[in-house]
Amino acid sequence: MTSAMCAFERCSFLVTGGAGFIGSHLVQELVSRGHSVRVLDNFSTGRRENLAHLTGRVEVVDADVRDAGVVREAVRDIDYVLHQAALPSVTRSVHDPVSSNEVNVAGTLNVLVAARDEGVRRVVYASSSSVYGDSPLLPKQEDMPTNPLSPYAVSKLAGENYCRSFYRVYGLPTVCLRYFNVFGMRQDPNSQYAAVIPRFIVAALGGQPLRVYGDGTQSRDFTYVANVVRANLLACVQDAAIGQVINVACGERHSLLDLIGLLRCILQRDLIVDYERARPGDVQHSLADITRAREVLGYDVVADFKTGLTRTAEWYRENVVR
């Protein structure tokens, strides 16, 4: 990290959704740096085993962000809030838009109100590249019009607007990070809403076909989780980031066919691919412009797609599929 990272030596952090995939990586990094960490998670999608190696070093509050009173208690005596808690997945939101709104919008509002009232130094909000929708214009720049296609994307954009409003109206320092297709160790491959990379890796290691929705030419700016961790920590200390929306990605795009080809090389095995009808709400192409992240955060890519995919595949080989 940069020298600016010493600006919050031994501070207190609340990580909402801290037992989830991304949240647990943030918690691990913060603990390794000597910070005091509290996790708020209801374990609906988070997993206790994601924090098992940190037992005794992290305070865990088993509760829901929809409970305003509990959120207020969780935020008390906290310096920084990394708000990761959400009901993820475009597909899930299409099936159940009400729950997505309650958790992702009302839950975010609870966090912001509590942070404002408790005098938190900064809230860093996990948003999503899905807010850009299906505009053919690439790369996606933060100032371009948003066009959310799914209820999930609508909910993440609403959270962004609440964050920016709380900064303008109440002076609560907030930063919104738009994640682009994050992947890495501890991502759940078994959920029906699982992201494509863990699903593909586990299927490949188990000798099962890889299910592709559409023709496989759809592309994403796949972002290894270490890059997201770096961006979150930088967002806590760079004052120029306050009130901003910032893309977090690698600035490269790869199709699903590219992903499959790279997995063949990494895993050294033939892969069977089953093609199915494209899913409603899915975006065809996604690519981030990360200029703002570099200029405002001092962000750079710490692990590119191939490096991250290799590390991830090895972790699943050792820990999930044996």
Catalytic residues: 152
Tell me the C-alpha distance between 154 and 156, whole Å: 6
* 211 secondary structure, DSSP code: E
Tell me the C-alpha distance between 132 and 33, whole Å: 34
Which residues, 6 or more positions from 6, have their beta carbon under 8 angstroms from its beta carbon?
A: none
* 145 secondary structure, DSSP code: P
Tell me the C-alpha distance between 224 and 183, whole Å: 5
Torsion on CA atoms 89, 231, 6, 308, rounded to nearest 10: 90
Half-sphere exposure of 258 (CA within 13 A, CB side): 13
The closest of 148, 48, 42, 153 to 92, measured between CA atoms, is 153
Tell me the C-alpha distance between 243 and 245, whole Å: 7
Query: Strands, DSSP E only, in the chain?
Result: 12-16, 36-41, 59-62, 80-83, 122-128, 174-179, 182-183, 210-213, 219-220, 223-224, 245-248, 254-255, 273-276
Residue linked to tokens 């838009």: 97
Tell me the C-alpha distance between 230 and 299, whole Å: 7
